[in-house]
């Protein structure tokens, strides 16, 4: 049977674009790609990129404050011009969208700027009614924000809407305690909004190391975010030009805007997956094997639509591995066990890789090396903020199994720690590196004695404490 394409990709986000480009440019596959919105997907258009630029924008006040600590008498960020920033942001996103589109065109990919859904295992139907056939189909449709299902929730915003606001709200409520809630609470507070964060747990960032969670929660409080923990909004109502929020304890409060950051779900609705025989999981995700292959052999899926590790670089790696495997005769699986992640809160970021202290303790005897200190730069400017660095070391093999950093530019540091950890480095390998002084990162190679032992009896100790 002959097909119109060797590969048809549904979704022009990070994973889909990488797979299409590699299949076409490296392996000369005939590739088509459909994207219903802007090329680049969540990360480029509505996520990582605009969010990080907003983080930079929101720090001007803090930088001006620090400059005063260094003797700059007139340092003042002045008023913030949101519309000017938004205009520049739009221009930057348009540039990036052009770069993504240009890369695909240069690789010879046919772009269909419209929605597509599956007709059968080898056929895709486009919104204009045309049907195209492909030997392989890749679902890379991403995820969508999920609302909590409470009365009046349509009055609230999701993170996509934040980039399109006409002005920075005076009083804003952020609901949730994950990546997006923490980052946007930091941004909104930094831009001058009086920000409240309502989370149903005791400390934000569930799933992260306990110390990192406590530090992140405390930092949100220190920068001025009003925390309502634990609490859950139960109702939103329009009131006097604003939004009246009722909480589960019966309390009410009024805000100019409410933003829900209560998780994301795989975007599989209306894609014709069930009709084509593709097995979906409980959250609606495409169930795939280690090769990203679905229950239908010709259909593969990568990225958030599979709900494995929902991070852009993971989706890119999955897309690239798929193209290498299927079109390049270079079978490559993605190892989802070890990946770094960073939460861009300020002034200190949270960045992690590997086991948390809680997971390490559950796995067996570990040594914990921890340093807590006031970084030179902020200390001199008059801040008491403490950075924390933690290494978890398997007491038997001496391998570093986890690293957690709460500090300025922690994301940059964890990226480099990912290299030795990927090579199964031991604590002695870390110690062998000569420190670069004076830096924050030198703490990672100068922690000589364990702060505590966890996970039961240690091989070289009679008693361990968990
Ligand atoms: P997360 O899953 O990280 O957090 C969702 C939050 O909402 C949790 O605190 C959760 O509580 C809470 N929640 C869920 N349902 C409800 C409910 N019904 N009522 C009240 N609270 C609720 O999702 P995000 O939306 O923050 O982020 C989505 C994805 O985007 C993440 O998987 C992340 O990987 C990715 N991302 C990555 C970033 C980065 O790398 N820096 C930045 C932004 C996003 P609980 O903890 O109790 O479940």
Q: Domains along the chain? A: 5-145+265-327 (3.50.50.60), 153-262 (3.50.50.60), 347-454 (3.30.390.30)
pLDDT, one tens digit per residue, over 288-321 is 999 999 999 999 999 999 999 999 999 999 999 9
Q: What is the pTM of this model?
A: 0.96
pLDDT, one tens digit per residue, over 5-45 is 999 999 999 999 999 999 999 999 999 999 999 999 999 99
Q: What is the average pLDDT across 94-121?
A: 98
The reply to whether 71 sits in an annotated binding site is no
Whole-number pLDDT of residue 329: 96
Angle at 282 between CA 279 and CA 287, to 5 degrees: 35
Contact status, residue 121 vs residue 44, Cβ threshold 8 Å: no
Residue nearest to atom 36 of ligand 1 (CA): 179
How much distance in Å is there from the Cα of 446 to the middle of ligand 1? 34
pLDDT, one tens digit per residue, over 405-456 is 999 999 999 999 999 999 999 999 999 999 999 999 999 999 999 999 999 9
Least Cα distance to 198 among 249, 151, 256, 162 occurs for 249
Say how many Å lie between the first and final Cα of the chain, rounded.
62
Q: Taking phi first (over 0 means left), then psi (-120 to 50 degrees means alpha), and beta for anything else, what does residue 276 get?
A: alpha
The reply to whether 263 sits in an annotated binding site is yes
Ligand 1 within 6 A of CB of 179: yes
Q: What is the average pLDDT across 127-136?
A: 98
Rounded distance, CA 460 to CA 466, Å? 16
DSSP E strand stretches across 107-193: 110-112, 116-120, 123-126, 131-139, 143-145, 171-175
Whole-number pLDDT of residue 463: 44
State the DSSP string of 296-315: STTEEE-GGGG-SS--HHHH
3-state DSSP assignment of residue 285: coil
Please report which residue ranges of 276-385 form alpha helices under DSSP H: 312-327, 357-363, 376-380
Res 462 pLDDT > 60: no
Ligand 1 within 6 A of CB of 352: no
The reply to whether 208 sits in an annotated binding site is no
Residue nearest to atom 7 of ligand 1 (CA): 262
Query: One of 122, 336, 404, 437 is an active-site residue; which one?
Result: 437
3-state DSSP assignment of residue 425: coil
Q: What is the average pLDDT across 55-67?
A: 93
Ligand 1 within 6 A of CB of 284: no
Q: What is the average pLDDT across 389-398?
A: 98
Contact status, residue 191 vs residue 56, Cβ threshold 8 Å: no
Res 126 pLDDT > 50: yes
Residue nearest to atom 41 of ligand 1 (CA): 343
Whole-number pLDDT of residue 57: 96
CB under 8 Å to 329, separation ≥6 — which residues?
A: none
Farthest CA pair distance, the chain: 75
Contact status, residue 364 vs residue 358, Cβ threshold 8 Å: no
Ligand 1 atom having least distance to the Cα of 207: 46
The sheet with strand 252-255 has its strands ordered as: 233-239, 242-247, 252-255
Ligand 1 within 6 A of CB of 342: yes
Whole-number pLDDT of residue 465: 40
Res 74 pLDDT > 80: no
Ligand 1 within 6 A of CB of 263: yes
The reply to whether 182 sits in an annotated binding site is yes
How much distance in Å is there from the Cα of 180 to the middle of ligand 1? 6
Whole-number pLDDT of residue 77: 80
Q: For residue 58, what is the enclosing H or E element?
A: helix 48-58
- pLDDT-derived band at 78 (thresholds 50, 70, 90) equals confident
- pLDDT-derived band at 460 (thresholds 50, 70, 90) equals low
Whole-number pLDDT of residue 464: 41
Residue 40 structure tokens: 């680049």
**Nearest-10 Cα torsion for 441, 443, 444, 445:** 110
Whole-number pLDDT of residue 76: 79
Mutate which of 180, 217, 309, 336 for ligand 1 pocket (most atoms within 8 A of beta carbon): 180
Lowest mean pLDDT among 164-168, 174-178, 424-428: 164-168
The reply to whether 11 sits in an annotated binding site is no
Mean pLDDT, the chain, rounded, equals 96
Res 358 pLDDT > 80: yes
Contact status, residue 319 vs residue 22, Cβ threshold 8 Å: yes
- pLDDT-derived band at 461 (thresholds 50, 70, 90) equals low
How much distance in Å is there from the Cα of 428 to the middle of ligand 1? 36
The reply to whether 304 sits in an annotated binding site is yes
Residue 61 structure tokens: 């006040």
Angle at 46 between CA 44 and CA 48, to 5 degrees: 55
Ligand 1 atom having least distance to the Cα of 310: 34
Lowest mean pLDDT among 63-72, 89-98, 213-222, 404-413: 63-72
Q: Is 437 a catalytic residue?
A: yes
Ligand 1 within 6 A of CB of 232: yes
CB under 8 Å to 371, separation ≥6 — which residues?
A: 388, 389, 390, 443, 447
How much distance in Å is there from the Cα of 56 to the middle of ligand 1? 22
Contact status, residue 351 vs residue 418, Cβ threshold 8 Å: no
Ligand 1 within 6 A of CB of 319: no
How much distance in Å is there from the Cα of 310 to the middle of ligand 1? 11
Rounded distance, CA 123 to CA 8, Å? 9
Res 327 pLDDT > 60: yes
Number of H helices, E strands in the chain: 13, 22
Kindly state the DSSP code that residue 157 receives in the 8-state scheme. B
């Amino acid at each position: 049977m002959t097909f119109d394409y060797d590969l048809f990709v549904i979704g022009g986000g990070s994973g889909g674009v990488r797979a299409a480009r590699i299949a076409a440019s490296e392996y000369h596959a005939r590739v088509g790609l459909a994207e219903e919105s802007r090329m680049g997907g969540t990360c480029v258009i509505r996520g990582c990129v605009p969010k990080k630029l907003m983080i930079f924008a929101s720090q001007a006040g803090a930088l001006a404050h620090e400059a005063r600590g260094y003797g700059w008498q007139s340092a003042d960020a002045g008023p913030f011009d949101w519309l000017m920033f938004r205009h520049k942001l739009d221009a930057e996103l348009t540039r990036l969208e052009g770069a993504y589109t240009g890369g695909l065109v240069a690789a010879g990919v046919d772009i269909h700027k419209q929605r597509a859904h599956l007709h059968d295992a080898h056929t895709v139907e486009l919104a204009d009614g045309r049907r195209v056939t492909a030997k392989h189909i890749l679902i890379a449709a991403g995820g969508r924000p999920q609302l909590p299902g409470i009365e009046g929730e349509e009055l609230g915003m999701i993170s996509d809407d934040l980039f399109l606001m006409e002005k920075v709200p005076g009083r804003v409520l952020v609901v949730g305690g994950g990546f997006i809630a923490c980052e946007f609470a930091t941004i909104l507070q930094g831009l001058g909004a009086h920000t409240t964060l309502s989370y149903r747990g005791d400390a934000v960032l569930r799933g992260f190391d306990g110390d990192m969670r406590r530090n992140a929660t405390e930092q949100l409080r220190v920068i001025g975010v009003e925390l309502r923990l634990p609490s859950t909004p139960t109702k939103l109502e329009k009131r006097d030009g604003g939004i009246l929020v009722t909480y589960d304890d019966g309390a009410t409060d009024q805000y100019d805007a409410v933003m829900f950051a209560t998780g994301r779900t795989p975007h599989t609705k209306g894609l014709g997956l069930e009709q084509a025989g593709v097995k979906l999981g409980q959250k609606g995700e495409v169930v795939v094997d280690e090769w990203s292959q679905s229950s239908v052999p010709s259909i593969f899926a990568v990225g958030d639509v599979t709900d494995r590790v929902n991070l852009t670089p993971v989706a890119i790696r999955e897309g690239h591995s798929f193209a290498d495997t299927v079109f390049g005769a270079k079978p490559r699986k993605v190892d989802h066990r070890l990946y770094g992640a960073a939460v861009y809160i300020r002034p200190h970021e949270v960045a992690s890789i590997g086991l948390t202290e809680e997971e390490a303790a559950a796995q067996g005897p570990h040594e914990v090396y921890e340093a807590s200190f006031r970084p030179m730069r902020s200390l001199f400017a008059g801040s008491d903020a403490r950075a924390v660095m933690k290494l978890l070391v398997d007491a038997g093999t001496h391998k570093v199994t986890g690293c957690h950093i709460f500090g300025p530019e922690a994301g940059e540091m964890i990226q480099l720690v990912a290299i030795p950890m990927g090579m199964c480095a031991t604590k002695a390998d870390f110690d062998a590196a000569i420190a670069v002084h004076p830096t924050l990162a030198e703490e990672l190679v100068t922690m000589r004695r364990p702060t505590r032992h966890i996970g039961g009896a240690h091989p070289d100790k009679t008693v361990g404490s968990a």
